[in-house]
């Protein structure tokens, strides 16, 4: 079985979708071997614990400047991934930007999910409600989610799959986020099943 590591920062509904899918009909040739959060107390950690999956919190070192902070955290995640013999990494609502050796070490084996139809509404600072507000402000008629490989940029890696939904004239950032979230759960499971 391939060992999957899921990186999280928040609620972890995408993690939950993967946990449920593994339980119900498997994740291809993979199993969720560990979860790492960069935020203390993230609810995703509870979800991991409830599913009996080893969960770790690796916090960014706030005393370091931004670039060094990213690199240092990325290197600790890489060390943990090596220790746990991780084959595949899923960033599922993980807010830290990864850099350094982990990018090459897991090239084509590390994916991210983003709640827009990339390349639209991606990049640094584009997360959460901001993404959906930007899509509405731009008058988009459809939006959705993208699963892509992680590279050294923010939301710039090669696209693996997308799921689109219509934007309704009555949509608010909240309602759009909610409908896209449902699509994300299907997309992340499909991508992992196809790739591991
Ligand atoms: C999702 O919208 C995901 O696309 C983005 O962060 C959000 C995480 O949601 N990267 P959850 O924590 O999986 O519920």
So what's the pLDDT on residue 93?
95
Of all protein residues, the one whose alpha carbon is nearest to atom 12 of ligand 1 is: 12
Question: 7 forms bridges with which residues in the sheet?
Answer: 36, 91
CA distance 147 to 145: 7
Q: What is the pLDDT of residue 63?
A: 97
Residues 6+ apart with CB under 8 A from 187: 113, 145, 146, 147, 161, 162, 163
What is the atom index within ligand 1 of the atom nearest the CA of 8? 12
pLDDT at 162: 98
What CATH code is assigned to 2-117+145-162+188-195?
3.40.50.170
pLDDT at 5: 98
Task: Find the 94 Cα to ligand 1 centroid distance in Å.
Answer: 8
Q: Which atom of ligand 1 is nearest to the CA of 112?
A: 10
Pocket around ligand 1 at a 6 A CB cut-off: 10-14, 92-93, 113-115, 184
**Chunked in runs of 10, what are the mean pLDDT values of the chain (196 residues)?**
97 98 96 98 98 98 96 98 98 95 97 98 94 98 98 94 98 98 98 96
Going from N- to C-terminal start, the domains of the chain cover 2-117+145-162+188-195
Which is nearest to 147 in space by CA: 87, 95, 106, 91?
91
The pTM (predicted TM-score) of the whole model is 0.96
| The pLDDT of residue 37 | 98
> What is the structure's pLDDT at 119?
97
Burial label for 18, CB within 10 Å (0-12, 13-18, 19+), is buried
Kindly give the distance from the C-alpha atom of residue 92 to the centroid of ligand 1, in angstroms, as a whole number.
6
Q: How far apart are CA 187 and CA 168, in angstroms?
A: 21
Q: Which of 114, 132, 148, 185 is catalytic?
A: 114
């Amino acid at each position: 079985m391939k060992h999957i590591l899921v990186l999280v920062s928040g609620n972890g509904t995408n993690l939950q979708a993967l946990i449920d899918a593994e339980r119900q009909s498997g994740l291809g040739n993979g199993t969720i071997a560990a979860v790492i959060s960069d935020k203390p107390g993230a609810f995703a950690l509870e979800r991991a614990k409830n599913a009996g999956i080893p969960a770790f919190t690796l916090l960014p070192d706030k005393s370091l400047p931004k670039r060094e902070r990213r690199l240092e955290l990325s290197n600790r995640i890489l060390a943990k991934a090596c220790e746990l013999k991780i084959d595949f990494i899923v960033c599922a609502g993980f807010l830290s930007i990864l850099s350094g050796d982990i990018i090459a070490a897991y090239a084509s084996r590390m994916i991210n999910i983003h709640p827009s139809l990339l390349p639209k509404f991606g990049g640094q600072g584009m997360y959460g409600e901001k993404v959906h507000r930007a899509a509405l402000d731009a008058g988009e008629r459809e939006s959705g989610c993208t699963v892509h490989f992680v590279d050294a940029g923010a939301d710039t890696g090669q696209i693996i799959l997308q799921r689109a939904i219509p934007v309704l004239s009555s949509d608010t950032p909240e309602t759009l986020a909610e409908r896209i979230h449902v699509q994300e759960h299907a997309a992340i499971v499909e991508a992992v099943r196809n790739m591991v």
